[in-house]
Structure 1
Amino acid sequence: MNLHHLSIFHAIAETGSISAAARRLHISQPALSRELKTFEERLNVPLFERVPRGMRLTQAGRVLHEHATRLFAIEHAAEAAIREIAEARSGRLTLGASNTIGTYVLPRILAGMRTQHPDIDITLFVGNTEQVSRGVVDLRFMLGFIEGPLHLEGLSAITFEEDELVPVVAKNDPLLARRRPTIEDIARQPLLMRERGSGTREVITTLLRERGIKESPRIMEFGNTEALKQAAIHGGGVAWLPRICMHAELRDGGLCELGLKSLHIRRPLKVLYRSSTQAAPLQRAFLERLQPGLGARI
């Protein structure tokens, strides 16, 4: 069935006359009459009775009008839904983030996003860099946020902020009694680390290797930053923790920095996206909340 003809039929049925339908559709009355005649001939059934005060639906016309009304209601709903997505007022936002960003950066942004856009659905997966990168490649996440190096092809990354990994110990750790602890002193201590596959673990291991120090066998592994931080507070050993996650602990003395600036690690916080795709309006709106101008770069 020709949708153009159906829209003409529906306009006549709704307005009750050829002239009013012509004005609504911005078509001349003779052209509209010809289109209606062609439509009725193709259906092989009359749709209207011509009466002195306009057009009256036949039985077939009433049946078709019911279906046409539902069809065009769906069309209007679809247009409204697409318009809401284009204006970032609805839709679904699926994100993956490595631990530091997912725990200490994004929740505040997501809460503000939900307040401004109450009709959107938001899902945030928090894992390690490898899991997040793979999720973006596999289309499970629209955007990914990582702190570690990017190793997968097909992805692009943009830095939106920087953080610092700082070696810290509990306030009563014996290392603090030494005036100038050496790298070797630290390497001999129990080390608290994230699991393998974590970007944080990778950059710390790389730093120690560059200083000629092999990874200590005395390592305790943790699946998230908060658990690692609690172990450090309770005297478990040396931990490299993101400064962004321990402002209160450093201020209150629960954790203390080790004085070796050469063991501090500056690292970029990056947003990942598939190189072959453009960000949708909802994704851009989220990125703009994260950092003004960031949405336009993807």
Structure 2
Amino acid sequence: MDFYQLNTFYHVAQRLNFTRAAEDLNMSQSAVSRQIEALEKNLGLPLFNRIGRSVSLTEAGYVLYKQCEQILRLVEGTQAAIETLKNLESGSLRVGCSSTVGNYILPSVVLKFIRKYPGIQIHVNIDCTKHMLERAEAGDVDIAIIAGPIESNVLYVEPFLKDEIVLAMGKNHPLVGEDDILFDSLSQYPILVRSEGSHSRKTILQHFARIGWDTISTVEFDTTEAIKQAIIAGPAIGFLSKFSIHHEVQCGLMSMYDHEPYAIHRNFYIVSHKGKHPSPAMLAFKTFLRKHGIFYV
């Protein structure tokens, strides 16, 4: 059935007058009559009784009229819902991110975004870079922010921000205040790193190998927060993102060394699946991220 024919039928059925229905629809009476005739032909049943100048619904016409009421209400509701999506008054967004972004960068950005677009529902999922990359490639999230470099045939990849991984230790660690910390001095203390799948772990171990520290002994933790608490308790050291220890350094709980060879640089990227059509909410969030990114690549 043709929607426009149904709409025309509904107006005629309401008015029981072809002339007035044509005026309502801003159509000629002959055009209205042709659409009704085509609809009756398509259905194989008459929809109106025409006795002289009087018009009334047949039994089939009455059934169709009641159905049209529901159909047109649904169409109107759908149009209204689409408009709210277009106007960013509603919508949902699944955001995936690696732990550094998810725990220390994204929360403030998301809060600013929902203050601007309160009708959009956001679900943030945090996982290690390896797992989040897999989810992004599977299309399980609308957008992801993860560390790179990223090589993928199915993802759009856009630079977001720079990160710096630095040597961190507790405020009372014996090495605090040393200007030149040698490898032999570091190797006397537990060096704490994230577990397998973490991009920071991979970056740190690659850096160790490049500068000849490939024999260094490490202790693995699943989370950055666990590493931070162990470092504060001491004596231990770790290589952590500047973003993750900003508060502790400001409060005097930690010291950091951000000069060679203790500064390790990496980049974070915004990724989305090439096969997924971007929703208005996703496009708005991407734009928001670009405006609120820090230290762009």
TM-score by length of 1: 0.88
2 CA distance for matches of 1:51 and 1:108?
Answer: 71
Q: Deviations over 1:13-71 (max 9, x none)?
A: 23442123223333211121132133334434432344788743333322211101111
Q: Deviations over 1:180-234 (max 9, x none)?
A: 21134224431111111111111111111110111523x2222222222111111
| 8 Å contact kept, 2:47–2:60 | yes
1:263 aligns with 2:262: yes
| Corresponding position of 1:232 | 231
- Structure 1 residues 265 and 24, CA gap change in structure 2 (3 angstroms): farther
* Residue pairs, 1:87-126, within 5 angstroms: 87-126=87-126
* SS of the residue 2:291 aligns to: coil
* Residue pairs, 1:156-235, within 5 angstroms: 156-176=156-176, 178-217=178-217, 219-235=218-234
| Corresponding position of 2:244 | 245
- Structure 1 residues 16 and 112, CA gap change in structure 2 (3 angstroms): farther
| 8 Å contact kept, 1:166–1:263 | yes
1:254 aligns with 2:253: yes
| Corresponding position of 1:63 | 63
2 CA distance for matches of 1:41 and 1:209?
Answer: 80
1 CA distance for matches of 2:292 and 2:101?
Answer: 19
Letter in 2 for 1:249: E
| 8 Å contact kept, 1:175–1:181 | yes
2 CA distance for matches of 1:227 and 1:41?
Answer: 74
1 CA distance for matches of 2:156 and 2:99?
Answer: 20
1 CA distance for matches of 2:285 and 2:204?
Answer: 31
| 8 Å contact kept, 1:145–1:272 | yes
1:286 aligns with 2:280: no
2 CA distance for matches of 1:293 and 1:110?
Answer: 10
Structure 2 gap segments, 5+ residues each: none
| 8 Å contact kept, 2:173–2:235 | no
| Corresponding position of 2:145 | 145
- Structure 1 residues 23 and 175, CA gap change in structure 2 (3 angstroms): same
1 CA distance for matches of 2:93 and 2:248?
Answer: 33
Aligned residues: 293
TM-score by length of 2: 0.88
2 CA distance for matches of 1:203 and 1:9?
Answer: 68
The Cα shift of 1:170 comes to 0.8
- Aligned-pair RMSD on alpha carbons? 2.5
Letter in 1 for 2:272: Y
